[in-house]
């Protein structure tokens, strides 16, 4: 029984650690490669640091094509050990070296990126065999290239921020999730575009040279009206990007999506809102008419102020409190369309114009009482 359990455990362990990357030697190379089946071969050395860094990705690549072992190979050769003659035969002088062998054994160097997506895409393009890697979601940032760059980045009706990146660049990879969230934040703003271009792709290098891009990522802002292009040199955080774009685009977006607390607020009507709360009778009616006249030239959100004034005439405390809670609940659930949520956020912001001053006055009264009590002591 003990022997059986040991064999079972050994079998399970072997199954867990089994690799889908084929190990090649001079004895099995010709039977595995170029004998009617193409393959990507890594020539490595066990002591090589770059090889060690590539190893986890290369194992994933083997797993990605494990379902197609009869059609394409993902293989490796210890070119500093038992496979040294193979390394010499195929002109390997550094590690790791990746080479593609077609069905007949014809060889060509692999010079693309060494991330999983780039490697898998190369094998698919060469062999027609698709990997089992789930495709990533489409990017949120608008992708530019030599064909559409001028039409979008130089559109004089839009403000456009562009990251010039390279697929192999580590800093670019670190920036990507942050930049993608910024693109989501500004998605409702059709005239404030968040875009990216692979500046290391050969067709796009002329554009990179045109704007003096010599390192990655380089970030540039293309303002509307054909104004001078501006280099973005701020922090690479979502908050910093949002602040920068709000200032340049005249928008009021918030980190994480939606609008910030200033959206929809109008300074002139904020002042009237406070006067309205402190007034009564004919004075309140006069302020309402003044707000009505002002609203005709202050845009759509001015109507929110008028509606609040109309509602609070009879029961201001109840309406402001209940409506604030209702709108806050809707915003927290975020189940409506972005456009509708923006409208509700502006209404909530306008409501706050009718309570902010009261809260300040209440705080001042509390501080005044505390000050008198302290003086008496």
192 is catalytic: no
169 is catalytic: yes
Q: How many helices (H) and strands (E) does the chain have?
A: 14, 10
Residue 214: enclosing H or E segment and its boundaries?
A: none
Strand, helix or coil for residue 19:
coil
Catalytic residue among 169, 175, 195, 291: 169
- Upper half-sphere CA count for residue 270 (Cβ side, 13 Å): 13
Catalytic residue among 20, 25, 48, 167: 48
Report the alpha-carbon distance of residue 79 to residue 95 in Å, rounded: 9
172 is catalytic: yes
The alpha carbons of the chain give a radius of gyration, in whole angstroms, of 32
Query: Residue 255 to residues 137, 143, 190, 336: CA-CA distances in angstroms?
Result: 21, 22, 18, 18
- Phi and psi of 192, rounded to 5°? -130, 95
Catalytic residue among 172, 192, 266, 291: 172
Catalytic residue among 45, 51, 54, 75: 51
Strand, helix or coil for residue 238:
helix
- Asked whether 21 and 74 are in contact (CB, 8 A), the reply is yes
Report the alpha-carbon distance of residue 74 to residue 64 in Å, rounded: 9
Q: Which residues belong to the active site?
A: 48, 51, 169, 172
């Amino acid at each position: 029984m003990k022997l059986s359990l040991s064999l079972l455990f050994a079998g399970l362990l072997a199954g867990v650690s089994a690799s889908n990357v084929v190990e090649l030697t001079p004895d099995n190379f010709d039977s595995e490669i170029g004998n009617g089946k193409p393959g990507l071969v890594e020539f490595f050395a066990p002591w090589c640091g770059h090889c060690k860094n590539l190893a986890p990705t290369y194992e994933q690549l083997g797993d990605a094509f494990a379902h197609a072992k009869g059609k394409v190979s993902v293989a490796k050769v210890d070119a500093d050990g038992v496979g040294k003659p193979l390394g010499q035969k195929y002109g390997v002088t550094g590690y790791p070296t990746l080479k593609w062998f077609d069905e007949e054994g014809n060889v060509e160097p692999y010079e693309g990126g060494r991330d999983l997506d780039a490697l898998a895409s190369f094998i698919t393009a060469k062999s027609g065999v698709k990997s089992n890697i789930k495709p990533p979601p489409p990017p949120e940032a608008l992708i530019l290239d030599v064909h559409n760059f001028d039409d979008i980045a130089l559109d004089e009706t839009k403000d456009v921020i562009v990251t010039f990146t390279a697929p192999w660049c580590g800093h670019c990879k670190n920036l990507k999730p942050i930049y993608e969230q910024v693109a989501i934040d500004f998605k409702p703003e059709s005239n404030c575009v968040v875009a990216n271009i692979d500046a290391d792709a050969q067709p796009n290098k002329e554009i990179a040279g045109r704007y003096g891009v010599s390192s990655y990522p380089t970030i540039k802002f293309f303002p509307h009206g054909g104004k001078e292009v501006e280099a973005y040199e701020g922090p690479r955080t979502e908050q910093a990007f949002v602040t920068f774009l709000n200032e340049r685009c005249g928008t009021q977006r918030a980190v994480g999506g939606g609008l910030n607390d200033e959206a929809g607020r109008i300074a002139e009507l904020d002042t009237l809102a406070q006067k309205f709360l402190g007034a009564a009778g004919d004075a309140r009616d006069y302020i309402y008419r003044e707000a009505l006249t002002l609203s005709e030239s202050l845009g759509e959100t001015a109507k929110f102020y008028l509606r609040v004034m109309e509602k609070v005439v009879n029961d201001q405390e109840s309406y402001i409190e209940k409506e604030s809670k209702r709108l806050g609940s809707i915003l927290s659930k975020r189940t409506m369309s972005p456009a509708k949520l923006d409208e509700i956020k502006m209404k909530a912001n306008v409501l706050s114009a009718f309570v902010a001053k009261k809260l300040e006055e209440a705080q001042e009264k509390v501080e005044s009482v505390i000050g008198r009590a302290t003086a008496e002591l």
